[in-house]
Amino acid sequence: MKSPQSRVQSIPLRRWGSGRGSGNWAIGNMKTEYEGMKTPPRSPSHAGGEARARGKKLKMGGGSGSIGLVGLGLILFLWAAITLGPQVWAHWQLNRFMQMVGRVWTLETLIPAQDACPPAAAGLIGPMARFLEHALPAIPEPKLHQGQLACLQGRREEARDHWQAGLERMPVDPQVVLWAAIASFPDRHIVRTPYRDAIGHYGMEMGERYKNFQDLAWAWYRFAFVYEPSAQVAERLAQIRSRMGDPVAASDVWLQLQAVFPEDAPDYWWAVARELEQRAQWDAAARAYEQAAARASGTEAYRLWVRAGDIWLRKGRFEDARQDYQQAVSAAPYLPQGYLGVGKTYRYQKNLAEAEKWFRKAAQMAPEHYASYYYLGIVIREQGRPQEALTYLQKALDILPNNAYIHYQMALTLRDLGRTEEAIAALQEAIHLSSTPPQAWQELLHQWETQRP
């Protein structure tokens, strides 16, 4: 057996430290083993007692660490509860308030009229008020929700005051701006805001949503007109007033629109023309449309020239109508209505060959447009070529199969071809498709049925 000294020397040496100049050698292990070899052997009972003691010591040390972590966690929890608790509670209360608002707030709750803000059920208002009171510390924009609560309590003026007060905060919440504008409108107060266009657009959308409810649509269109006056909104307002049997109010809409634009603007003259049409002053209206068209360009000018031409055509002023339709062709040569208008003036003057030329031009410009083939079929049949006319009328029918007037012209053309039964069927279909079939159609059908061979 090797001596203790030789055993120590046989234990491999290891360096500690990481530097190149480190010259220290780890000898702790060597000393421990050497001293252990000099210690006399212990009894098994003594060794077991030591092990138990070491175990207890380890357990006591581990327990102290666990208690320390639990204590630290408890301190952090208490700090978070004290610091963040009120905010968490307030946000929870706000969520409860908003949930209750969602149960009763609809698009009809706030409208630009005196009867806005109908009161909600009393059983809901009390809890909502308490929730909002507790939530106020967490709300960055309290006036928005305070106005909501007042509106649901049936107090429009108080809601208006809250929202108007919210306009003084920076930055301004766009929702507050919109609701302040709506709630202020019945009092003839207009909110000054850079969001005017957006507010007007919203009013227009709401008017379209409720267009079948005249009073509500009228309120929304008026609101939209004040914030974003436009020809489209004015048209809606005038139509509503006309249907309600109030032509004077309809004319006033166009007069108000005139005040918006300078006199050299196309929209000004368009409003003038619409007001004159409202009063059935057709010649003056046509001249006003011409003034508007002369100040416009492109498709806008095209539309105005066609409108003027249509008035002259109804009046039987074919030369004036033709001039305006030709101006429309010059403004937008790729659109068919100008060509069709010129063709109509020649047809009414019985110049069928010239009318046919213009209708063919319209068909070339817009081959998908049914009217070109429809009028071509008519003038070709009137020139004694029913078989060719039938081809064009069939093209028109393929594009617009449920048009009563195309079926009527098909009936006349089939009759010219001697195809009486088909003509009767086509005329019956025309009468069926028409919501108000002319009496002459009924009489013609009766005549053909009685003349059957």
Looking at residue 100, its pLDDT comes to 83
pLDDT at 68: 66
CA distances from 415 to 397, 403, 433 (A): 17, 19, 19
CA distances from 285 to 165, 185, 278, 290 (A): 47, 33, 9, 9
Q: Over 90: is that where the pLDDT of 188 sits?
A: no
pLDDT of 315 strictly over 60: yes
Using a CB cutoff of 8 Å and minimum separation of 24, what contacts does 385-393 make?
386/413, 386/416, 386/417, 387/417, 389/413, 390/414, 390/417
How far apart (Å, rounded) are the C-alpha atoms in residues 377 and 394? Answer: 9
The DSSP line for 246-308 is: -HHHHHHHHHHHHTTS-TTSHHHHHHHHHHHHHTT-HHHHHHHHHHHHHT--HHHHHHHHHHH
- The model's pLDDT over 162-175, given as tens digits with 9 standing for 90+, comes to 999 888 877 888 88
Write the pLDDT tens digit of every residue in 201-256: 999 999 999 999 999 999 999 999 999 998 889 999 999 988 888 888 888 999 99
DSSP letter string over 10-32? Answer: HSPP-B-SSSTT---B--HHHHH
**What is the identity of the amino acid at 81?**
A
pLDDT tens by residue, 9-67: 333 333 333 443 343 333 344 344 434 444 444 444 444 555 455 554 444 444 555 66
The sign of the dihedral angle between the CA atoms of 414, 419, 420, 424 is negative
pLDDT of residue 448: 94
What pairs with residue 15 in β-bridges? Answer: 25
The average confidence (pLDDT) of the chain is: 83
Per-residue pLDDT at 67: 62
Mean pLDDT of 396-416: 96
Confidence of residue 421 (pLDDT cuts 50, 70, 90): very high
For the chain, first and last CA: distance in Å?
144
Q: How many of the other CB atoms lie within 10 Å of CB of 326?
A: 18
Per-residue pLDDT reduced to its tens digit, 346-396: 999 999 999 999 999 999 999 999 999 999 999 999 999 999 999 999 999
- Is residue 417 predicted with pLDDT exceeding 70? yes
Q: Give the DSSP letter of residue 399.
A: H
> What does each C-alpha distance from 112 to 187, 202, 205, 207 come to in angstroms?
9, 12, 14, 11
Q: Could you tell me if 356 and 376 are in contact, meaning their C-beta atoms sit under 8 angstroms apart?
A: yes
Check residue 78 and give its pLDDT: 55
For residue 357, how far is the Cα from the chain centroid? Answer: 44
Note the pLDDT tens digit of each residue in 60-87. Answer: 444 555 666 666 666 555 554 445 456 6
Cα separation values, 32 from 13, 55, 125, 232, Å: 14, 22, 83, 101
Instruction: Please provide residue 230's backbone torsions phi and psi, each rounded to the nearest 5 degrees.
Output: -150, 160
pLDDT value, residue 85: 52
What confidence tier does 452 reach under pLDDT thresholds 50, 70, 90?
Answer: confident
The pLDDT of residue 246: 87
In this structure, how many other beta carbons lie within 10 angstroms of the beta carbon of residue 214?
14
Task: Please give the Cα distance from 427 to 248 (Å, whole number).
Answer: 42
* CA–CA dist 401, 379 (Å, integer): 20
DSSP 332-375: -TTSSHHHHHHHHHHHHTT-HHHHHHHHHHHHHH-TT-HHHHHH
Q: What is the pLDDT of residue 88?
A: 67
